[in-house]
Structure formats: C-alpha cells, structure tokens
Amino acid sequence: MASYSVDHHLSDREPNIHRAFDNSIDPVLTVEPGEVVRFECRDAVDGQLDLQSTADDVPEVSFDPVHPLTGPVAVEGASPGDVLEVELLDLQHKGWGYTLFMPGEMGLGLLPDEFPDPGIHVWDLEGDVGKFVNGIEVPLDPFPGVIGVAPGEDGAHDTLPPRSVGGNMDVKHLTAGSTLYLPVEAEGGLFSTGDCHAAQGDGEVSVTGIEAEMFVTARFDVREDMDIEQPQFETRGPFTPTGVDEPMYGTTGIDDDLMEATRKAVRHMIEHLHTERGLTRGEAYILCSAIVDLKINEVVDAPNWTVSAYLPESIFPE
Amino acid sequence: MASYSVDHHLSDREPNIHRAFDNSIDPVLTVEPGEVVRFECRDAVDGQLDLQSTADDVPEVSFDPVHPLTGPVAVEGASPGDVLEVELLDLQHKGWGYTLFMPGEMGLGLLPDEFPDPGIHVWDLEGDVGKFVNGIEVPLDPFPGVIGVAPGEDGAHDTLPPRSVGGNMDVKHLTAGSTLYLPVEAEGGLFSTGDCHAAQGDGEVSVTGIEAEMFVTARFDVREDMDIEQPQFETRGPFTPTGVDEPMYGTTGIDDDLMEATRKAVRHMIEHLHTERGLTRGEAYILCSAIVDLKINEVVDAPNWTVSAYLPESIFPE
C-alpha cells in the first residue's frame, strides 16, 4: 500500500454519529476524490458494555442505539450510477472488545433456540492477538462490519441488514489494504462506517464478531468507468486467521435447505469444541462467531447441499 | 505425512465399479485397519467424453452411468456407530479433465435458466497446472468429489446428493494429507470413492469441477472413540488456490434468501469475468465452477444475508 497522510479526522462525538442509512442526513464532511479520512468508530452497542461486563449485563443492553455510524461523508462528484471506491488504509482497535449472544426471545444469531440464555466474552486485545479462555489466542484481522453509502430510496433504513449499497455486510476480508467498490445511489454517495470487528469468522454466527471501538482510515475515489449492482472488492485476505495455510478442523452440514445445512455445520463444530476441546457450549458458540469460517462446498448436488465450518487449530495452546 | 506403502490395488475395471450407495453390495475388498488402498477411479460420466469433446457432445451424455464409484471396501471391525477414519495419502490425475454445464432443461447447476445451451472446457492437466483459455492457468488441488460409506437404510441410494454418511460432498479441502471421518452405518463401513476433481471452487456452481480420472490412495482406520452425526475432517487446505494468501477479486450477493444471495454473488462474478477479463459468459461460468470460492460472510443480519465469491487474480497471465 502506498504511503498516505490523513486529510480529515472525524471523531466519534456528535454530530458525527447517526443510526440509520438515510439520504436526507446532511454530510458532516465533504471530501475531494483522493483524500484520506480517519473515522473514529464507536462499538456496535454504543458503549453500553465495558471491560468488566458479564452475561448478567447482556439482557440490559438496549438495541435502540445500534449501530452508531460515523459520517456521512460526501465525496465530490459522486453521483447516482457511479461507483465509490474506498481504499481501506488502516484499522486500529482500542485494546478491548466483546463477543456476545442474546437471549432466545430476541431471535438473533444462527441458533437462538439452542442458546436461550445470554453469554459474553470480553477480549483483551493486545496488538494482533485477542485473548480467549483456556489459553486460546485468536489472531486479529480488523475490518468494518458496517460500511456503505446511502440508499437512493428515501427514508431511514435500519442498519442491521446489508443492502445493494453495502452496510452491514460483515465481509471479514475487508481488511487494511483492501479496496471496496460501492454502487452510488445518492448525490455525494454519503458514506458511513462503524460496527468494527477485530476478528470474525465467516458467518458471524452468534451475531457478533469481536466488537470493538476502532479507527478506520480510508481513501475515497469516484469511478465512473465501473457499473456494479452490489458491492465488489479487492483483497489479499488473510484467508486463514494467520495468513498462511495451516491445519483446520472441519465439520460438515448436509441438508436440503442451505440455511439448515449451515446450522448443522455450526452445531457440529460447537459439539466438537465442547467434547474435544473442553469449552462450554456457550464459549464454543462465541468462538465459532469469532474465528470459525463457513464455506459453501457445493450448491448443485440436488437435493442436498454441503456447508462446512473450519476451525484453525493454531489458536489452541500447545 | 508419514511414508506408506500400498497394500491393495483396486483397478477401475469390473467388478470394482458400482453406481449407487447400497449396503447390499458385496465388498470387492476387505482390509485390516491401518492398511492402504490405491483406488483407480473413473471420471463422473464414465468415459463418455474425451480429450476432443466439444459442446456439441454434451447433450449426448447419458446420466445413467453417473457416478461410477470404485469399491466398496469393507474395513474389519467397522460397525454401525463407529467412525471410519480415511487418511488421504495421494491423488494422481491422468493428464486431462473437463468442466461442463448442461442444457437448461436438465436443471443442473446453480444458474440453469441463464445457461440454456451446453458448454464444456477440456483441460490439459500438466503436473500441478490446468490450462484454460486466454493463457489462464489454474493451480490443481485434486480431491475426490464422492467419498463415503453405505447408508444404514436398505436400498440403492442415488450418488448425486451427499448424505450423513458422506458421498458427493464436493469438499475441495479433502486434498492429499487430509483425514476424513465418516459415520459408519453398515457392517464393515463399505467405503467407495470416485468423481475426482483436479480442482474446484467452493460451490461447484456449474455442477462440475475439473472432472478427471484419478488414483486415490487412502489408509483406513476404525475409531470407536468418536461419535459424529455427519462427516468431519482435518485438512491443511490449501485454502487459496496457491496455498498462499494472494490478491482476490470479490463479488457480493446480498439477499433475504441464502440460495439467491449465492446466485447473485456468482452472477456478479460472471459479469466481472465477462466485462473485465474478456471471457464469454459460458467460459466465465466454467471458470467460476473450477476456481471461484463461495463464502458465507454473514447469516445473522436479518433479513438479508451476505455471500461472496472470490476469484484468485494470479490465474491470469501478466
């Protein structure tokens, strides 16, 4: 990545925070193509949890403030039909994060019925490493969970679902060094980001990665030569947690429904982590969300599809 | 991997070939735990295509012989409730392979309506490299598409869908050096393999990888200490086509149906390969099936899920 200098800073204080994608929100900053912005981003639940939080605190969390996003930033010359190029230059966490699952009645996560009680792990983040239980250490590959531009359709759009203009895509490969392309639907693009994750497995199965306050540094450009319907990107990964090919333990989920195949792969991995690695099922669910990757092996061998879950074995102590 | 010597050979001639998973098929070989078998495997359509085949030949292919499997092999002491351990020691192709898509009326593949006419690419396989069009070269990471044991349920079971006892799982990470665990449901296990792929993208979207005649060398063991519901495995990948992290181009599919999100990611990749890399749409579909990986980025940000397709850029000539 070429060297860069930051042209603009956006702190995580008002008025830089908003909680919906909405093309009527005035930009808090307008930049020229080529300029670099460093965004300070709040965590997904906006400071309701801290270093000392426990499972008892999880039911008290209000979802009204989710997700606090930093922006929006308008980019000069970005018009509907253009593509906004976002070069991710750096991501910097602030030393801690958390992964949680919710009470079943909230219905969030891949396996809400199997985890009716809440759980949380608060991670110490030290450089490139996050600390879990039992001596397990997880490599960190930070990225923004929510990154997108304003929809062309008027109104306030909930930040939870991703859309064709991006948003809560949770693409873990949007690491520093990656370039994201977003279809522009509103004048100026109106870019926002937040909900950063210090690490996440493909799937984000408990509905949280390692949620962390973070800085996101990005350079913007406008591409009139591209025509895309949904976000596209260039990345060098890492495609394994350590960036090198390494031993993985895999569980399969085989079913005639792709979502149920996904659930089975994760259930089997939770069982593996419980019986072979001595984790509680709740710890296993959290570890799956933070580090276990889901891959679609085949979607063509009708009527059954194969989804697999991949656990890097290097995270366990010798 | 420890050194080994082959204890038994199974050629791809009768009576070693069968075309269904069926616990009433007598084993053609019975081995002791720890023994090594080298299986010669026919290609998926059983010799109906050859080095000189073209798209005109594809509609003539009969699916009646699909899949010719080599075996079954009984393993002494493997009983229902046990787990059959299969250590994959070597995979060796025979110098050529093919990737095809079918006429739309067959309804096979992820995008049958968008590819009503048949297509095929016959690959020269040279060592670890497969040759595509326009100077594109694909790394080879061979694995058996179909690998499994007989179901406990009596009768002949179609080889197309994978099941809890394995079969057509198309897990591309079952490369040499990997170990597969299969739940045993029939006395002796009754292991069979075939439908080998010299390479395949996660998803196998056109319904074929690089289909190739191949030798599969495996060591068997019986694990009475394991209890699994569906196949599990250990692998070192490779997790990228070259086994090192490298630049990838990604397209997203964002939709409230996981299968449609998958289709969108692949459609967007085909469009990218067509407009940016100059391939025909048929060539692009074939290349997606052979080398593009599908990942589930998130299945929790209701109501929309994110699936992405990853294209390794190193396959293109400088």
Reply yes or no on whether the pLDDT at B243 is more than 70: yes
Cβ separation of B252 and A110 shorter than 8 Å? Answer: no
Reply yes or no on whether the pLDDT at A106 is more than 80: no
CA count, 13 A, side-chain hemisphere, B164: 15
- A233 near B CB under 8 A: yes
Reply yes or no on whether the pLDDT at A105 is more than 80: no
Distance from CA of B127 to the nearest CA of A (A): 21
SS3 (DSSP) at A269: helix
Q: Which of residues 170-209 of A touch B (CB under 8 A)?
A: 170-173, 202-207
Cβ separation of A204 and B300 shorter than 8 Å? Answer: yes
A177: nearest CA partner in chain B: B247
CA count, 13 A, side-chain hemisphere, A196: 32
Which two tokens mark B225? 């200490």
Contact of B191 with B151, CB cutoff 8 Å: no
- A242 near B CB under 8 A: no
In whole numbers, what is the pLDDT of chain B averaged over residues? 96
Cβ separation of A301 and B236 shorter than 8 Å? Answer: no
Cβ separation of A229 and B268 shorter than 8 Å? Answer: yes
**Which residues lie below 8 Å from residue A107, measured CB to CB, with a gap of 6+?**
none
Which among B149, B171, B239, B244 is the top mutation candidate for probing chain A, defined by the most A β-carbons within 10 Å of its own β-carbon? Answer: B239
Cβ separation of A296 and B202 shorter than 8 Å? Answer: yes
Cβ separation of A252 and B171 shorter than 8 Å? Answer: yes
**CA separation, residue A113 to residues A104, A161, A206, B40, B235 (Å):** 6, 21, 12, 46, 31
Q: Is the ipTM of this complex over 0.90?
A: yes
Give the distance from CA B109 to its chain's centroid.
14
Q: How far apart are the two ends of chain B, measured CA to CA in Å? A: 35
pLDDT given at position B298: 97
C-alpha dihedral, A234 to A235 to A239 to A244, nearest 10°: 140
Set of chain B residues whose Cβ sits within 8 Å of the Cβ of A244: 244-245
Among B172, B174, B166, B262, CA closest to B208: B172
- B218 near A CB under 8 A: no
Among B144, B141, B235, CA closest to B193: B144
State what percent of residues in chain B have pLDDT above 70: 98
State what percent of residues in chain A have pLDDT above 70: 98
Cβ separation of B240 and A243 shorter than 8 Å? Answer: no
Distance from CA of A46 to the nearest CA of B (A): 18
pLDDT bucket at B314, cuts 50 / 70 / 90: very high
Cβ separation of A169 and B252 shorter than 8 Å? Answer: yes
Count the Cβ atoms, other than its own, within 10 Å of residue B56.
9
Set of chain B residues whose Cβ sits within 8 Å of the Cβ of A245: 236-240, 243-244
Which among B185, B234, B299 is the top mutation candidate for probing chain A, defined by the most A β-carbons within 10 Å of its own β-carbon? Answer: B299
Distance from CA of A257 to the nearest CA of B (A): 9
Distance from CA of B108 to the nearest CA of A (A): 7
Cβ separation of A203 and B300 shorter than 8 Å? Answer: yes
Reply yes or no on whether the pLDDT at A41 is more than 90: yes
Report the C-alpha gap between A159 and A63 in whole angstroms. 11
Task: Report residue B194: phi and psi, to 5°.
Answer: 165, -165
pTM over 0.90: yes
Reply yes or no on whether the pLDDT at B312 is more than 80: yes
pLDDT given at position A107: 77
Reply yes or no on whether the pLDDT at A103 is more than 90: no
When CB atoms are compared, the residue of B259, B272, B299 closest to A203 is B299
Reply yes or no on whether the pLDDT at A299 is more than 90: yes
When CB atoms are compared, the residue of A170, A246, A275 closest to B298 is A170
Q: Mind listing the pLDDT tens digit for each residue in A227-239?
A: 999 999 999 999 9
B302: nearest CA partner in chain A: A161
Cβ separation of A205 and B299 shorter than 8 Å? Answer: yes
Which among A111, A158, A262, A299 is the top mutation candidate for probing chain B, defined by the most B β-carbons within 10 Å of its own β-carbon? Answer: A299
Set of chain A residues whose Cβ sits within 8 Å of the Cβ of B232: 249-252, 268, 272
Report the C-alpha gap between A220 and A37 in whole angstroms. 8
Set of chain A residues whose Cβ sits within 8 Å of the Cβ of B204: 297-301
pLDDT given at position A100: 97
pLDDT given at position B105: 63
DSSP B227-277: --SS-EEEE---SSTTSB---EEEEEEEESSHHHHHHHHHHHHHHHHHHHH
B178: nearest CA partner in chain A: A247
When CB atoms are compared, the residue of B262, B268, B296 closest to A230 is B268
- A108 near B CB under 8 A: yes
Cβ separation of A203 and B302 shorter than 8 Å? Answer: no
Cβ separation of B248 and A173 shorter than 8 Å? Answer: yes
Q: Mind listing the pLDDT tens digit for each residue in A214-227?
A: 999 999 999 999 99
Reply yes or no on whether the pLDDT at B185 is more than 80: yes
When CB atoms are compared, the residue of B248, B259, B304 closest to A235 is B248
Set of chain B residues whose Cβ sits within 8 Å of the Cβ of A260: none
Report the C-alpha gap between A125 and A142 in whole angstroms. 11
Reply yes or no on whether the pLDDT at A126 is more than 70: yes
Report the C-alpha gap between B266 and B137 in whole angstroms. 20
Report the C-alpha gap between A161 and A103 in whole angstroms. 20
